[in-house]
A = this chain, B = another copy of it.
Amino acid sequence: MLENDFTLLEKANRYGTPMYVYDGDALKEHYEHITSWLHQTAEVFFSFKSNGNVSIASLLRSFGAGIEVASEGELFMAIKAGYSPQQIIFSGPGKQKEEIDTAVQHEIYCIIAESKEELTYIAESAKRQDKQVSVGIRINPESIESRAKIKMGGVPSPFGIDESKLNDVFDLFQKYDHSLLFKGIHMYLGTQVLDETSLLSSFEYTLNTAVRIKNEYGRTCQMVDLGGGFGIPYFQHETPLHAERLFQHVADLIRSYETELEFPRFIIEMGRFLLAECGVYLTTIQYVKESKGQPFLIADGGMHHHQAMTFRGRLLRNNYPMRLIKHSSNTADVVKQSIVGPLCTPEDLIGRQVELPQGEVGDLLCIEKSGAYGLSYSPTLFLGHSSPLELLLFEGNDYVVRDRGTPEDLLLKQNRSFFRQRRGEDETDRASTRND
């Protein structure tokens, strides 16, 4: 549906912009394809960090997905979204003690421990709560060939426990035998990987590690979390993964290990790959201006809603995938135009010299591949604009899954005791805050 410009124009007219639109039907189809190619060898766990909308999480749950959370807040929302404890795993290198206590209390499927210190604290928390808690360990491998853009393993890293320290880890499991149940292992080599061979070799490494743990330590994994890292092509030089072939190969790979590993639960994590292409960000051109011979389109949405589409943090200053949807049926020549958001900062650059049909006020700009790492990844408070609406299209219905924000939202948590205390001291202050 997100390919249908007429639909998007109609939604923009009905709900206003800026807005995120998610295609729940496309998501369902995509999810079902992936799981059919995996052929029941592995379960898909949604990485909540990629999109913090609780309705999206709920939709994925209804398709059968599990969920990977990385904070107490995400755990809270996962439960709100209807996930049962057995469908939740909790990872993250800096879990706070209160977060661990909460996860232990909820008896989730598995806490992924990322350090020996954390493992010790989990054991203490379990003991205090008189529970035996299921724990997986995240392993930072000895060395692995990885073509991941952002490496999260195989190098010195805050993530996971060095493979060379497995001895110490299993000593701890031994020591806290009554409190800790060894559930299995988790490895995650990097994100935004577009190379099938890299992905498969990292999964194979993980599977071999599970075998080695069984053989060397006599510990059988009930769960092997292969991580994820499946990339999405955003820019021209990037080639998409061949998903069908890839997941069939993943299934073959898993099958070749499952007997030896005694049929554990295999988990694959997915955020970006699942959602990115099922969502768009829509913003309307508010002003068209020319400066020193160059055309600029000024949109009503920007980096405060969708930081990833701007150039911040990217070394390669490519334009994000986007298209312009004309609000009238007039034809327009394709010209190079720069597009900015409303923020009073040069960082709010949506596209630089993008080739698009000549823009007019009222045209709709559709930022594609925005279903993941969109709103949740953005500095929503910056410059005090209202947060965008989020719309989910599913089975012929429209669901507003996040209401548009208002200026009043900015006062959330702003404790104003300072005002009240000073009111008596300052006449002007009193007059101006009378309506607080």
Contacts and interface: CB of A to CB of B under 8 A. Distances in A.
Interface string A358-397: 0001000000000000011111111111110000101001
Interface stretch (A27-35, A194-202, A422-430): A422-430
How many copies of this chain does one complex carry? 2
A3 interface: no
A302 B254 CA distance: 36
A403 B384 contact: no
A222 to B, nearest CB: 23
A94 to B, nearest CB: 3
Interface in A380-436: 380-387, 392, 394, 397, 399-405, 407-419, 421-422, 426, 428-429, 432-433, 436
Interface in A102-131: 115-118
A392 B426 CA distance: 18
Which residue of A91, A376, A378 has the most chain B CB atoms within 10 A of its CB atom?
A: A376
Interface residues of A, number: 117
A380 B412 CA distance: 13
Nearest to A290: B162
A152 interface: yes
A82 B416 CA distance: 12
A245 interface: no
A370 to B, nearest CB: 15
Interface of A: 48-49, 52-55, 58-59, 62, 69-77, 79-84, 91-96, 115-118, 140, 150-152, 155-160, 162, 191, 286-294, 296, 298-300, 302, 307, 312-313, 338, 340-347, 361, 375-387, 392, 394, 397, 399-405, 407-419, 421-422, 426, 428-429, 432-433, 436
